[in-house]
């Protein structure tokens, strides 16, 4: 029995969660699917699947085998497409790590549009404010907002993201409205626990800069919780524009020290160095580059330096970042 075919059958069973559904997708019989799985387990000397009449799940060995074999199949598919043997449509599960503040209606709309374009790609999105290990944790891609992406990874800039210092009107009425950066030390602040803001500088009018001094009243590793705490009047916070633009427009939050700002960061798509990119990965990165740049250069962003930076980010090719 052909090992490569068995690998594809195994991947389809895992993606479908069912022997019968996998058989339908592959246009083979359910008993043939069972034979392929049994052949793989015999060759490996390990059970790959826990299965009952109602449930199907991976064993520990199966999870390891699926992660490695699926990656190998993706690379084979990409290689075949690259040399013109056949056209490989984007398909399969795409595991993505992204910051918590990507949980916005605009980003959800982008995912819905990508689903329409590539219906055979299942985006497995994990929102977390930590730097995952792509290889060890089995991720295909990570979206990272940073000024210095890892030199060990391939990074493609997608767009620039500004962070606004915001507060609820009630909090400013209670604690006073800061006029100078030095006033921030007397205000309660919600600060992220995953990055050290103290000692960073904020930029002001005419190129002036000032050290950022905050008095934390809450530390959190969840940006959404920080947003809710600011709305509740607990204190002020630097939050990404993706999360607060609507609140600012509706007056739920207001800008603090509007003439001053933190340096914007670039949102990168980062992935492990591979000779070939799977179609599902390339299509998703290309889509985000197109979609996020268009959003960054919309009517409200066409005048400023961030719009120009977004154009530059879009024009830059995928590259290997070096130290």
* Confidence tier at 177 by pLDDT (50, 70, 90): very high
Q: Does one domain contain both 247 and 270?
A: no
Q: Does one domain contain both 172 and 236?
A: yes
**pLDDT in the model for residue 82:** 62
Question: Which residues form the domain of 42?
Answer: 3-69
Residue 292 inside a domain? The answer is: yes
The whole-angstrom distance between residue 285's C-alpha and the CA centroid of its chain comes to 10
Domain end, chosen from 201, 223, 255, is at 255
Domain end, chosen from 204, 227, 255, is at 255
CATH number at residue 44: 1.10.10.10
Average pLDDT of the chain to the nearest whole number: 83
**Residue range 243-260: mean pLDDT, rounded:** 94
Rounded (5°) CA angle 232-233-236: 120
% of the chain surpassing 70 pLDDT = 85
Residue in 19, 43, 46 with CA at minimum distance from that of residue 33: 19
Total count of domains within the chain: 3
**pLDDT in the model for residue 75:** 80
Residues in the chain: 323
Stated pTM of the model: 0.62
Residue 144 inside a domain? The answer is: yes
Q: Give me 311's structure tokens.
A: 């154009």
d(CA 36, CA 6): 5
Residue 82 inside a domain? The answer is: no
pLDDT surpasses 60 at 50: yes
**Residue range 234-257: mean pLDDT, rounded:** 94
**Helix 60-82 vs helix 3-16: angle between axes, to the nearest 10 degrees?**
110
In tens, the pLDDT along 200-242 reads 788 888 888 888 888 999 999 899 999 999 999 999 999 999 8
Q: Does one domain contain both 245 and 295?
A: no
**pLDDT in the model for residue 18:** 87
Q: Does one domain contain both 99 and 47?
A: no
Q: Does one domain contain both 149 and 168?
A: no
Q: Does one domain contain both 192 and 141?
A: no
CATH number at residue 106: 3.40.190.10
Residue in 168, 157, 141, 310 with CA at minimum distance from that of residue 239: 168
Q: Give me 290's structure tokens.
A: 């197109």
Q: What is the 3-state secondary structure (H, E, C) of 21-62?
A: HHHHHHCCCHHHHHHHHHHHHHHHCCCCEEECCCCEEECHHH
Contacts of 6 (CB under 8 A, 6+ apart): 36, 37, 39, 40
In tens, the pLDDT along 67-108 reads 888 888 888 877 666 654 345 688 899 999 999 999 988 899
Rounded (5°) CA angle 21-26-29: 70
**pLDDT in the model for residue 318:** 37
**pLDDT in the model for residue 71:** 83
**pLDDT in the model for residue 304:** 38
**pLDDT in the model for residue 227:** 95
**Residue range 171-176: mean pLDDT, rounded:** 93
Q: Does one domain contain both 141 and 273?
A: yes
- Tokens 């199907």 sit on residue: 56
**Residue range 270-280: mean pLDDT, rounded:** 75
């Amino acid at each position: 029995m052909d090992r490569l075919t068995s690998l594809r059958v195994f991947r389809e069973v895992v993606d479908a969660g069912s022997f019968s559904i996998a058989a339908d997708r592959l246009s083979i019989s359910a008993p043939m699917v069972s034979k392929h799985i049994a052949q793989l387990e015999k060759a490996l000397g390990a059970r790959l699947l826990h299965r009952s009449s109602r449930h199907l799940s991976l064993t520990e060995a199966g999870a390891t085998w699926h992660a490695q074999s699926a990656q190998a199949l993706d690379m084979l598919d990409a290689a075949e497409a690259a040399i013109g043997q056949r056209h490989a449509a984007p398909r399969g599960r795409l595991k993505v790590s992204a910051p918590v503040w990507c949980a916005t209606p605009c980003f959800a709309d982008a995912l819905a549009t990508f689903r329409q374009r590539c219906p055979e790609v299942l985006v497995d999105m994990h929102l977390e404010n930590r730097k995952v290990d792509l290889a060890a944790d089995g991720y295909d891609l990570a979206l990272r907002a940073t000024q210095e992406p890892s030199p060990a990874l391939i990074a493609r800039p997608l767009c620039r993201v500004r962070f606004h210092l915001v507060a609820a009107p009630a909090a400013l009425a209670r604690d006073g409205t800061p006029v100078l950066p030095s006033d921030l030390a007397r205000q309660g602040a919600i600060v992220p626990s995953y990055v050290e803001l103290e000692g960073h500088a904020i930029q002001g009018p005419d190129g002036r800069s000032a050290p950022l001094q905050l008095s934390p009243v809450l530390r959190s590793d969840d940006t959404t919780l920080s947003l809710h705490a600011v709305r509740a009047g607990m204190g002020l916070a630097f939050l990404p524009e993706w999360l607060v633009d609507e609140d600012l427009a509706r007056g739920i939050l207001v800008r603090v020290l509007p003439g001053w700002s933190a340096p914007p960061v670039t949102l990168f798509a980062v992935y492990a160095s591979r000779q070939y990119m799977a179609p599902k990965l390339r299509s998703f990165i290309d889509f985000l580059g197109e979609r996020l740049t268009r959003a960054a250069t919309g009517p409200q962003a066409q005048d400023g330096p961030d719009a120009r930076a977004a154009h530059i980010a879009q024009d830059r090719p995928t590259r290997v970042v070096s130290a």
